[in-house]
Amino acid sequence: MRFPARGLYAITQTDHKSADLIINEVIAAIKGGAVVVQYRDKNPSDAIYLASELLKVCHRSNVPLLINDDVELAANIGADGVHIGKEDGAIAQARLHLGEKAIIGVSCYNFVDQAVDAERQGATYVAFGRFFPSTSKPLAAPAQLETLRQARLKVSVPIVAIGGILPDNGGQLLTAGADLLAVIGGLFENDPKQSALAYQTLF
């Protein structure tokens, strides 16, 4: 499945939530217009079950499912790809494990050079952030709008922005060069369908 060129990128919010609730929230986010879903779960109880169910949900709507940081899990369930941190060899390793068609996204934080390097190594997309204060990643180092502007000039793969993004602040990220907006709290702390719909005007 292809990685979308533009749109809302939903990242699961799993803490203190049942598998059924997480699945239903993802269904709602997709109905509201999310074009890609990442399964992120720092304290999984049954990751294979939940990831497999999310994959079914996503594929019914022709939306790719990516797995955060776990190439083995992605391979086990046949996910569309992974999102990984920037580590030497990680992209090649993921590609070897998941195949040529797998989507591989890479966190580049606030470093354009890392994005250029990631694209050279075969990344499908690059991600920058956090751009605004975030409850999901409160300790993440801040990223600058100028980073998006520079990245837009230097990479040709899609650019994802993340970190405290809301419908009222996301537009400046798109103007600066982001293609997709990755959202956790802004999507899943209230009604996910209505929240997702609120982001659609930005695109």
Instruction: Report the CATH number at residue 138.
Output: 3.20.20.70
Out of 95, 107, 136, 195, pick the active-site residue: 107
Catalytic residue among 6, 17, 31, 137: 137
Within-domain flag for 195: yes
Among residues 40, 86, 95, 193, which one is catalytic? 40
Residue 41's domain comprises: 7-200
Tell me the C-alpha distance between 8 and 195, whole Å: 11
Q: Is the pLDDT of residue 193 over 60?
A: yes
Examine residue 1 and state whether it is found in any structural domain, yes or no. Answer: no
Q: Per the structure, how many domains does the chain have?
A: 1
Prior bond to 120 cis, omega within 30?
no
Whether the Cβ atoms of residue 110 and residue 147 lie closer than 8 Å to each other: yes
For residue 86, indicate whether it is catalytic: no
Confidence of residue 3 (pLDDT cuts 50, 70, 90): very high
Q: Mind listing the pLDDT tens digit for each residue in 38-54? A: 999 988 889 999 999 99
Band of pLDDT at residue 140, cut at 50, 70 and 90 = confident
Q: Is residue 19 part of a domain?
A: yes
What span, in angstroms and rounded, lies between the C-alpha atoms of 123 and 88? 12
pLDDT at 68: 96
Q: State yes or no: is 120 an active-site residue.
A: no
* Whole-number pLDDT of residue 141: 81
In a domain, 2, yes or no: no
Q: What is the mean pLDDT of the chain?
A: 95
Instruction: State yes or no: is 137 an active-site residue.
Output: yes
Q: Tell me, yes or no, whether 119 lies in a domain.
A: yes
For the entire predicted model, the pTM comes to 0.96
